[in-house]
Each structure stands twice: as structure tokens, then as C-alpha cells.
Amino acid sequence: MNANKNKYQFGDLLARHHLKKTEPRLRVLSMLASKNFATSQPDLEDVMLDIDRGTLYRILNAFEEKGIIHKVFDLNGTANYALCKSSCEENHHHDEHLHFNCVVCNNVYCLDDLDLPALNLPAGFQPMNLSLSATGICPKCGKKSDITEN
């Protein structure tokens, strides 16, 4: 997908969530969309040097509140952010998927395509949020260890 088409789609996304279309917001969305794993604020700061920490923090908070991104914590307790699916809404995320933490590269992957079993809670319990995570070695790091063992 080319950059102009991305900006157009992200502009529509911001409009649907009643957020102004600004260059920093579009760049953050583009950066998050370009990754196949969740990204931390410090990692975003490292590549978006012209966006100050406070602005980036406010952008991420607004996106999370509006249901554009969701937050997942890595093995070090650092918040990482990934784009939500279109079913997420303001103040109500539908990110009930497995988050996989790689113990080698420390990336956090959203495994959206796994079929998860239904959650059968006892009577009277009403879940508002569900967080599922697994730890292990991702395919990229598994291939690296195969190469070094041979």
C-alpha cells in the first residue's frame, strides 16, 4: 500500500473517531501499521525524533481511548501498542486475542487469527476486559537458533 493511500485511510480513521488529522498522528499510525508486532513508546521516540515525548504520549493515549490502538505489556512491564481491529470502540476494546511475548527479541505479537475457547465464568461474573499472553520463541528467533546450532 502506498504512503498516500495510507494517509487517506488513516485520515478517515481519525475523522471517524473525531480526532483532528495532524501529521504527527498520521505518522504514528503509519509507523504502528508498518510493524507486525506491538511497539513501545520509547521505540517510537527513537524513530520519531521530531515528535516530543509529551505529544507522543498524548497521541497514544487519545488513540487508546478512542479504540484505535490497544496496549499490551511485554515481559519487562513496558507498554506496547498495536492497531486495533475495526470492531474496537471508544473506551471498549475487543482485543481478546493471544499476545505472544518472544523471550529472545522481546517483541510482542498479536495473534488475532487463533480460535480461542469461550470463557465460561461462574454466574454473576461479568468480564470487562480479557488479557491473554504466552511467552516463548517467535518464528524469526527460532530460525536464528536453528542456524547457530548447525
Domain count, the chain: 1
End-to-end CA distance of the chain: 38
CATH of the domain at 36: 1.10.10.10
CA distance 144 to 106: 14
Quote the pLDDT of residue 77: 92
The per-residue pLDDT for range 77-98, each reduced to its tens digit, is 999 999 987 656 666 666 678 8
Supply the range of the domain harboring residue 124: 3-149
Lowest mean pLDDT among 51-55, 97-101, 137-141: 97-101
Helix, strand, or coil here: 100?
strand
pTM as predicted:
0.80
